[in-house]
Amino acid sequence: MISVNGAHPPGHIACAPALSYMPDMTQRLHIVGGGMAGSEAAWQAANLGVSVVIHEMRPKVATFAHRTGLLGEMVCSNSFRSDDSEQNAVGLLHWEMRAANGLIMQTADKHRLPAGGALAVDRDHFAQSVTDALMAHPNITVQYGEITALPDDGHWIFATGPLTSAALGQAIAAETGAEALAFFDAIAPIVYFDSIDMSKAWMQSRYDKGETEEERTAYLNCPMDRDQYEAFIDALLAADKTEFHEGEETSSPNPTPYFDGCLPIEVMAERGRETLRFGPMKPVGLTNPHQPDVKAHAVVQLRRDNKLGTLYNIVGFQTKMKYGAQTGVFKRIPGLENADFARLGGIHRNTFLNAPTLLTADMRLKSRLHIRFAGQITGVEGYVESAAMGLLAGRMAAREMLGGTLDVPPPTTAMGALITHITGGADARTFQPMNVNFGLFPPVTGLKGGRRGRKDRYKAYTDRAKADWQDWLAPQARAA
């Protein structure tokens, strides 16, 4: 337990004095941010023998979401989601992190609570244990204070998460271009393609635009008649909505603005029942091949979200609806009655890079190659995904400092699929934060598609991933 003036008040830690790290900056790995990604990055690098400094602005500089100055604090749920490593991509990510001696998974297992098939923890004990482990490591020092600029040299990992401070956010924006940083995260739901009923939906771009057949069939369309549209609007207006945090309300003195064109669909519907029909659900320029003589009253469009074509996002459907309400409302859309969602929608304050544009395959900032980014700021979503990107960043940076190199893990692994997606697999023009899911993995050939073949298909994904992950780890273990 880290004490303050000899006492142990809950949620408090001692603030280390400022470190004079500038003279030997090139001999230390500096990690900015002590959340899931920063903590895991520090642990991995330190275990490889590298001297690490964690820079954490809390508790000196507070955020509206954090309650303590502990490292690895869980600010939202206390769950790391499914722990099933055979049928769930998140559970597979757990497995890979455990195999790599990950601090976050070790600590989660230590403080696990009953939660069915999920991995839930006592959040306070979890954060205290993460803090104690890092503080006790002989290769790790923690410095408390805000980093407000990007350094010109040294070895750095920025893992500041979605609540990056305003000053640092401005510095990153100045380096990358203001439009490359999003300060209000508008997220549309993403659906697994093989769960869409294509006897009702069809592929077509509006007015058949495009020079190639692929471009002319780039959108997936779900038609609604008048009654279906009216029922959808009623359900949308009646659904439970998420409450904004302080400072995010549109009525606050300095509200966080929405991006242009990213209004929640509920807000558009509240402006008039026909608004969506003249916005994201307009039916013009489309012909339903299943009923070519019937003109749809409204059309919901989905756009491919990854190169594999396994994921489709619902265009323009950013939403404030609570997760439980979203599935009920969205499954009213013809063709999506049995949809499986890789990600539900949302809109909230966030900070993330357009990683496909700005980062190299090994998470370096293209304009400053001595800086890596990790965690949620890279465009992954969730505790587990953030920690996983920290694990990779820490290992890559350490291996480089020790005179070697480390290849990105293969895309057949959970970590490889995730880093491949954010650094190039995703479309940079529509890039949004992403959870790990099997839609990011290269398909396993020779297996039955659709819902009936899902169990065998997912088991094949996880078996392949585990073997490939062990193959990726083996040379590192021999070199250690």
Q: What is the pLDDT of residues 284-337, one digit of tens each?
A: 999 999 999 999 999 999 988 777 888 888 988 888 898 889 999 999 999 999
Distances (CA, A) of 268 to 3, 20, 64, 114: 51, 53, 28, 41
Q: Which residues have C-beta within 8 Å of that of residue 360, sequence separation ≥ 6?
A: 366, 369, 423
* Intervals of the chain under pLDDT 70: 1-26, 64-65, 76-77, 114-116, 178-187, 243-262, 346-350, 480
Q: In order of start, what are the domains of the chain with their CATH numbers? A: 25-183+350-479 (3.50.50.60), 187-348 (2.40.30.260)
The residues that bridge with 475 in the sheet, in sequence order, are: none
Check residue 20 and give its pLDDT: 36
**Structure confidence by residue, pLDDT tens digits, 194-240:** 999 999 999 998 898 877 888 788 889 999 999 999 999 999 999 99
Query: pLDDT value at position 187?
Result: 66
Question: What does the pLDDT read at residue 308?
Answer: 83
Alpha carbon dihedral 289, 295, 299, 302, in 10-degree steps, equals 20
Burial class (CB in 10 A: 0-12, 13-18, 19+), 173: middle
Q: What is the pLDDT of residue 17?
A: 36
SS3 155: strand
- Neighbour order of strands in the sheet with 341-343: 202-203, 219-224, 298-304, 311-314, 190-192, 341-343
Residues 2, 131 contacting (CB under 8 angstroms): yes
Give the H/E segment covering residue 31: strand 29-32
- DSSP strand pairing (368-373 vs 112-113): unpaired
pLDDT of residue 269: 93
Residues whose CB falls within 8 Å of the CB of residue 388, separated by 6 or more in sequence, listed in order: 40, 93, 96, 97, 380, 414, 415, 418, 436
- This prediction's pTM: 0.71
Query: How are beta strands 346-348 and 185-187 bridged, if at all?
Result: antiparallel
SS3 254: coil
Check if the beta carbon of residue 24 is closer than 8 Å to that of residue 401: no
CA atoms within 13 A on the CB side of 470: 6
For residue 384, what pLDDT is reported? Answer: 97
Distance, in Å, from the CA atom of 208 to the CA atom of 218, rounded to the nearest integer, reads 9
Could you tell me which of 328, 369, 467 has the C-alpha nearest to residue 409? 467
Q: How far is CA 225 from the centre of its chain?
A: 35
How many CA atoms lie within 13 Å of 388's alpha carbon, on the beta-carbon side?
A: 33
State which H helix or E strand residue 324 sits in.
helix 323-330
User: What sign does the dihedral 203-355-429-249 (CA atoms) show?
Assistant: positive
Place of tokens 């230590």: 110
Residue 464 has what pLDDT?
A: 98
Contact of 334 with 228, CB cutoff 8 Å = yes
First and final C-alpha spacing in the chain: 30
